[in-house]
Amino acid sequence: MKRILVLTNSINGLYSFRRELIDELINQDYCISISAPVDTKTVFFKKIGCNIIETRIKRRSTDPISDLKLLLNYIRIIQKEKPNIVLTYTIKPNVYGGIACRLLQIPYLVNITGLGTSIENNGIMKKIALKLYKIGLKKASCVFFQNSSNQRLFLDNKIAISKTRLIPRSGVNLNYHCFEEYPDDDDEIKFLFIGRIMKDKGINELLDTATRIKAKYPNVHFDLVGDCEENYIEKLKELQEKGIITYHGRQDNVHSFIKNSHATILPSYHEGTANVLLESASTGRPVLASRVPGCQDTFDEGVSGLGFEVKNVDSLVETIVKFIELPYEKKKLMGIAGRRKMEREYDRQFVIKAYMEEIRKLFTYQ
């Protein structure tokens, strides 16, 4: 039996962005085990035949003791499961899962889904994080990058020099995020934010911008969807009571929110891949995003979206006003252009094909 072990920090993330790859592997008779914290989509993977290994991960902790425990846990899991290949996603599984695979001489494929705050914010933590990456990724059979900027950073720092491969982010499921007709009119324009409610997603700039825009354009609505991971609950409640935003919390079905919007806004400080922008464009909605790697590549300026300067409220306000004042037909055509771009460049099948090629190579050598 061909055995593959998947290490990730989020079952829900695996479901949202990689379940099609897991389906393909199962269809080709691979035995799949998944190590991750239990979440709402755990039952889905159990139903399709995956073995779930509950693994606690403190995603944002910098405690070396808990990280050492995670490393030792990964070693135990790999020794027990005896996988032929390990797939790792997200920062801690990439680093500590990679070290465990090195120690046990198991082939592994790494996906750099994003650099994380420790690297984006320069300082001692960046040096430590890059050093850990260098140790964890040294023997990786292949490292997948979701944007060329991250790839260059790693290569410049002599990390993952064995083999790297650029893929179109996580890709987008064009069938699930199917094209939807644009809203009938824009007398009341709805802007949508989907993401974790946290500083690095640009939530401060978004809330300040919403306040300014609503004062000038009372017919504009701001809908926010996602988990609140930092101390914003009171602020969200205050702005909702004033009619400035509507906060919907975490939602499993974001497609319905995208369908009912006129555009998606993402003022993120950094992204490995802005999946919400891919999903929005696939649905036929223009995107407004900060000009950072992982965001700006998902749209063509003035054609399928508009960019603005990161951490800059004035630039965000100016961009939103520019979009509001576009003719209705121009907004609609931007959405159509976004869908076409997704079909050309970001079909998730491209990602699955790349993974299957690397997996088959590894099994050929075993």
Q: What is the pLDDT along the chain (366 residues), one digit of tens a residue?
A: 899 999 999 999 999 899 999 999 999 999 999 999 999 999 999 999 999 999 999 877 778 899 999 999 999 999 999 999 999 999 999 999 999 999 999 999 999 987 776 776 677 888 888 999 999 999 999 999 988 888 988 999 999 767 899 998 889 999 999 999 999 988 899 999 999 999 999 999 999 999 999 999 999 999 999 999 889 999 999 999 999 999 999 998 899 999 999 999 999 998 877 899 999 999 999 999 999 988 998 999 999 999 999 999 999 999 999 999 999 999 999 999 999 999 999 999 999 999 999 999 998 866
Residue 148 pLDDT:
85
Q: CA dihedral in degrees (169, 173, 177, 179; nearest 10)? A: 100
| Other Cβ atoms closer than 10 A to 9 | 22
CATH code for the domain defined by 2-171+348-365: 3.40.50.2000
Residue 181, both tokens: 């007709």
The answer to whether 190 touches 224, Cβ cutoff 8 Å, is: no
Spell out the residues 6+ positions from residue 75 whose beta carbon is closer than 8 angstroms to its own: 100, 103, 104
Quick one: CA dihedral 259, 12, 104, 133, positive or negative?
positive
Rounded distance, CA 334 to CA 8, Å?
35
Rounded distance, CA 129 to CA 97, Å?
15
| Other Cβ atoms closer than 10 A to 138 | 15
Rounded distance, CA 322 to CA 300, Å?
16
CATH code for the domain defined by 190-345: 3.40.50.2000
Rounded distance, CA 57 to CA 37, Å?
7
The answer to whether 159 touches 133, Cβ cutoff 8 Å, is: yes
Amino acid sitting at position 76: R
Residue range(s) occupied by CATH 3.40.50.2000 in the chain = 2-171+348-365, 190-345
Residue 120 pLDDT:
66
Closest listed residue to residue 220, CA positions, set 191, 192, 242: 191
The answer to whether 248 touches 228, Cβ cutoff 8 Å, is: no
Residue 335 pLDDT:
98
